[in-house]
Chains A and B, each alone.
Chain A
Amino acid sequence: MRWSFDRTGYPVLELPQSHAAVTLWPACKAQFERYFAEPDGPDDSWYEQVLAVSPRASLRTADSNGYENLLLAGVHPAESQKFAHWLGNGYKLPTVEQWRSIDRELLATPLTAGQTTELESSPQLSRSARQMLHCILKHSPPNWAGLALMRGGLLEWVSSGPMTYGGLGVPRPQYYSLIINPQRDRPVTPLRPDRNKVFGFRLVRSLN
């Protein structure tokens, strides 16, 4: 597995079979807050609305029961694209096929102790990303899909057509009860336009 880091110090996996580089995790709150801290980022009242739907957990105390609250949920696709634009390098929401290809490739890639040690010791890894990594590793993920929360994370916004978005992923039942096979079923579309705690997003870019 090859990886690099985005401007927030969070890992980005390079997946040759999928011809894509993809963020290791769905956008995390601590990661997003780097954009939030910019003068032209979203304002406090907007973030308060998001946190009302998806409360913020502390990276210092988050445990395996509530790691979903470390992820940025309750955002709309257009809002995620603003973050993608700030992140640069052509990041965008994945298409349905891109997401599924990434999912398959990560499911087929075993996770070794050497890889996690190498990732953890990387000087480019930000403090909060390192804390996030520690939290996810407590679950002993068997493969990269587990570490990447492709399984056990959120429903992630994917582009299913022009200006059409749905969610793919496999949330843990204790967080959100939903039976879905993301490789086969259609992306989930929310019934209402309100913010929803199960919808987050992951960004991809083409592999250079």
Chain B
Amino acid sequence: MIEQWHTLTLAAGSRPALILDTSESAKAVWPMIKSLTEGVLETLRQDCWPRIFFLGNPQPFDAAAFVANADQWFRANVGRGSVISPIFDVLETETDIAVVVVGNGLIFDLPDWHGHPLAERAVWCRYGPSSLTSGTYSEASYSVEQMAEKLHNPAVRIEVRGPSAMPVYWDDHSFRYEGGALVGEKTSGALTFGTLAPEPDTVTAHAVLSNGIRRNLELIATEPLRLPDWRNLTSKEDTLLRQCLRQGKYCCPHCSQDHPSGQWKCPDPAAPAIFRTLDEAGQSGFCLINTEPWQGLARPHPCSALQLADDLVAVRSASGQVVLMRFDSKGGRWLPTSEPFAPMHLVVNKIHALVV
């Protein structure tokens, strides 16, 4: 297995594009297009406003100035031929943005863009009798709310996955291993993670946008994350944990009853914390204890995945259940096993993993 570490950064995506038709065939419906655009801008938050284009003109216009300048911009652009290539040439590499085209009448050069993501994913909003796309794409007269919804296209989910790859550690506790992928709802900042896979460089990351578009995220190879330091257990914790290792239970200092390993809290609601160090260390993910030294040590593992062996990873669900995932070399993928995760699961030598 090859261990690799990557960082991805979630940059704000490009603004959507709202393309307004002011050609001869659409100029009669300009009042409607203008009103619709104003409504969309009123509906959307300002940081989600689209760039405004006029069909045929590659120059983007600032939506913030639309209300004050709409008629002036219309006069400057009216009569342009119904061609979209000047704009799509500018946007060609922004294949994951939301594009809405509003107008009337055939866009003559659209066949040059058939099959391109910009054309295939664009929303065609027709206000008039003449088709924009000659029936190639679905067209409708959308309301202000519908248009705003189609233009607002935030990232709703991040997915990191790869054939045969298993995430083993990451630095954002809100992310979970789910359905074969590391997923989370992060929309800004960075994520660093480590993976195990039989082949290198098989992992990809995507931001899934609200309209279903998957934006590829660049992965930068990075150094492994530094795990938290070991800290001393208190003498009382150390004694009780060693008792657990020997007998599978411990005598509760509060109620003097035996509690099995794994039950790290006394059922009496009035009982104070027994394993305070474990509580602090294992609030999320796992807690590791090392009983090799004379004075036992604990180390938090603030991640819901923990590598136990070269081909074995423990994954903790939100409910605290732990599933062991083992690499199936025949199928080339990681599969859940029926192997139990012990209350004090041996990792190596005298280091055990606990779920607190």
Contacts and interface: CB of A to CB of B under 8 A. Distances in A.
A53 to B, nearest CB: 14
Contacts of B81: 33, 36-38, 41-44, 47
B248 to A, nearest CB: 70
B254 interface: no
Contacts of B108: 33, 36, 44, 47, 51, 56
B109 A39 contact: no
Given A30-B85, A44-B23, A56 B79 contact: no
Given A44-B23, A44-B105, A45-B24, A60 B112 contact: yes
Nearest to B130: A44
B57 A43 contact: no
Main secondary structure of the interface of B (DSSP, over half): loop
A59 B106 CA distance: 17
Interface string B63-103: 00000000000001111111101100100100000000000
B77 A39 contact: yes
Contact of B112 (A37, A38, A41, A128): A128
B79 A60 contact: no
B115 interface: yes
Contacts of B92: 127
Contacts of A57: 111
A72 to B, nearest CB: 12
Contacts of A44: 23-25, 81-82, 105-106, 108
Contacts of A118: none
B113 interface: yes
A77 to B, nearest CB: 21
Contact of A38 (B80, B105, B106): B80
B85 A58 contact: no
A84 B112 CA distance: 24
A133 to B, nearest CB: 15
Contacts of B80: 36-39, 41
Contact of B114 (A33, A34, A61): A61
A60 B113 contact: yes
B23 to A, nearest CB: 5
A57 B86 CA distance: 18
B79 A61 contact: no
A37 B83 contact: yes
A60 B115 contact: yes
A48 B23 CA distance: 13
Nearest to A9: B89
A183 B89 CA distance: 40
Contacts of A59: 112
B89 A127 contact: yes
A40 interface: yes
A205 B86 CA distance: 26
Contacts of A45: 24
B112 A58 contact: yes
Given A30-B85, A47-B108, A56-B109, A37 B25 contact: no
A42 B81 CA distance: 7
B34 to A, nearest CB: 17
B285 interface: no
Contacts of B77: 39
Contacts of B116: 60
Nearest to B25: A44
B24 A37 contact: no
B117 to A, nearest CB: 13
Nearest to A43: B24
A30 B82 CA distance: 12
A57 B106 CA distance: 15
A73 to B, nearest CB: 15
A61 B57 contact: no
B56 interface: yes
A169 B320 CA distance: 80
A56 B108 CA distance: 8
Nearest to B105: A44
Nearest to A127: B89
| Nearest 7 CB-CB pairings of A with B | A37-B56, A36-B81, A58-B111, A43-B24, A44-B24, A33-B83, A59-B112
26 contacts: A29-B109, A30-B112, A34-B86, A36-B80, A37-B80, A37-B83, A37-B85, A38-B80, A39-B76, A39-B80, A40-B79, A41-B80, A44-B23, A45-B24, A48-B106, A56-B108, A56-B109, A57-B111, A58-B111, A58-B112, A60-B111, A60-B115, A61-B114, A126-B89, A127-B92, A128-B112
Given A39-B78, A43-B24, A44-B23, 5 more contacts: A30-B109, A36-B56, A44-B82, A60-B114, A127-B85
